[in-house]
Structure 1
């Protein structure tokens, strides 16, 4: 990951290299940097030079030194929205529709760009995630399936090789992981959703692997449309079940009084 520094350059070159790794998503929030001795050897700079570089990065709030625990990349994802807006959204479920509109557009674009720009290692990573999804589906591991769902979409965003899109998507998926917009577990408990979602991910992967941007965009958009519709159907079913339960309770209560 880390490359030797030209001896005619100073700590600025080390700063530039690490910043580039963070910007392009190679180094992610929470990643631990190698120990100072190891990192200085990999970059072929003296430890005093490296310390100056790390100090600069720390001043820029890109890395943080933890007492007795090494040096880590700071939490750089943050949130698209302020906490006040997040709480407002959580109280008004109608915002979920706007969220799906946003995801439909940006994920369609990311998938199309990935089909054009993905490197062999990107394709390999997507294939690996699909294989893990297959295994989790076979084992009926809903929790793992849900986690791999986010990992897959993150990998597509990385394969698009657009740093602004990459960090926007990561922030978007953090809200998804936190359940701000909807509980992904509910989606995977729908009778047919697990199989359908797996097939959608495979279609997106195949389109990206084939280098077909139009098909990749279409597959991503159809996936979001399906998730939106399925969650709406699940919500309606829950409401009907709740109403049926109330009716059953009232009927039982009236019968008991007689």
Structure 2
């Protein structure tokens, strides 16, 4: 199961062994890790090294500590990319336009995938969100429905990497979305335009037409990106 460690940077080697156990299937999502005492015994290292390794694994989002229960491999990783991406975003002094560019690159093809894999139940949910985007008098509800609409498309792609990447990108965009929508909606005719764009995406998904769906998403993102240029 484990191999004794006899080298420098001990905690990094502890991490490496745990990662290898995930790769070979010994550890799976939701599995409980051995206790600190057992890890010390199996790996023949100090408890300090074990704690350093576990703390590092918690920081990167691979392991979670449940109070009074022990350490577990995480079952959900939907928010695990947000922290490192947000730090990189701030340190690199990136602009929101860069996020929108990568979102466009990924999301257009994601919509094509989703059109081939989306279920009838998911389409019903998308229709409900679309109705909120079109008719709600509450802008806050429209923002939530808009985000959920795009996330629903990612989920329908059935590609877990895409879901996590777009979820992290969307979280980074939160602080810009309200201001951008405000700028877009200054022009009264844009309300109907935004609703039509979402409707076109929905129709592409419902018709199971990858070209139609992805082109509708591209038109929508090209339109909204124009209002992020000054952020």
TM-score normalised over the length of structure 1: 0.57
- In the TM superposition, what is the alpha-carbon distance from 1:182 to its structure 2 partner? 8.1
Q: Which residue of 1 aligns with 2:93?
A: 89
Q: Which residue of 1 aligns with 2:50?
A: none
**Of residues 203, 211, 216 in structure 2, which corresponds to 1:214?**
211
- 1:55 paired with 2:32, answer yes
TM-score normalised over the length of structure 2: 0.63
Provide closer, same or farther for how the CA distance between residues 80 and 148 of structure 1 changes in structure 2, counting only shifts above 3 A.
Answer: farther
Q: Which residue of 2 aligns with 1:132?
A: 132
Equivalences, count: 175
Q: Which residue of 2 aligns with 1:169?
A: 166
The 1-side partners of 2:149 and 2:119 are apart by 16
SS of structure 2 residue aligned to 1:224: helix
Q: Which residue of 1 aligns with 2:66?
A: 65
Residues 105-139 of structure 1 deviation map (CA, whole Å, 9 limit, x = unaligned): 21110110001111222212211211222232xx1
- 1:226 paired with 2:223, answer yes
SS of structure 2 residue aligned to 1:55: coil
Q: Which sections of structure 1, spanning at least 5 residues, go unmatched?
A: 1-14, 20-52, 237-258
The 1-side partners of 2:201 and 2:213 are apart by 5
Provide closer, same or farther for how the CA distance between residues 99 and 73 of structure 1 changes in structure 2, counting only shifts above 3 A.
Answer: closer
Residues 10-38 of structure 1 deviation map (CA, whole Å, 9 limit, x = unaligned): xxxxx85xx3xxxxxxxxxxxxxxxxxxx
The 2-side partners of 1:73 and 1:57 are apart by 20
Decide whether the 8 Å contact of 2:117 with 2:157 is kept in 1: yes
Decide whether the 8 Å contact of 2:184 with 2:227 is kept in 1: no
Residues 139-172 of structure 1 deviation map (CA, whole Å, 9 limit, x = unaligned): 1x22221222111111100011111111111011
Provide closer, same or farther for how the CA distance between residues 121 and 77 of structure 1 changes in structure 2, counting only shifts above 3 A.
Answer: farther
- 1:103 paired with 2:99, answer no
Bigger CA radius of gyration = 1
Provide closer, same or farther for how the CA distance between residues 182 and 133 of structure 1 changes in structure 2, counting only shifts above 3 A.
Answer: closer
The 2-side partners of 1:62 and 1:208 are apart by 36
**Of residues 151, 157, 165 in structure 2, which corresponds to 1:160?**
157
The 1-side partners of 2:103 and 2:97 are apart by 10
Provide closer, same or farther for how the CA distance between residues 223 and 185 of structure 1 changes in structure 2, counting only shifts above 3 A.
Answer: closer
Q: Which residue of 1 aligns with 2:182?
A: 186
- 1:144 paired with 2:145, answer no
- In the TM superposition, what is the alpha-carbon distance from 1:193 to its structure 2 partner? 2.8
Decide whether the 8 Å contact of 2:143 with 2:178 is kept in 1: no
- In the TM superposition, what is the alpha-carbon distance from 1:175 to its structure 2 partner? 0.6
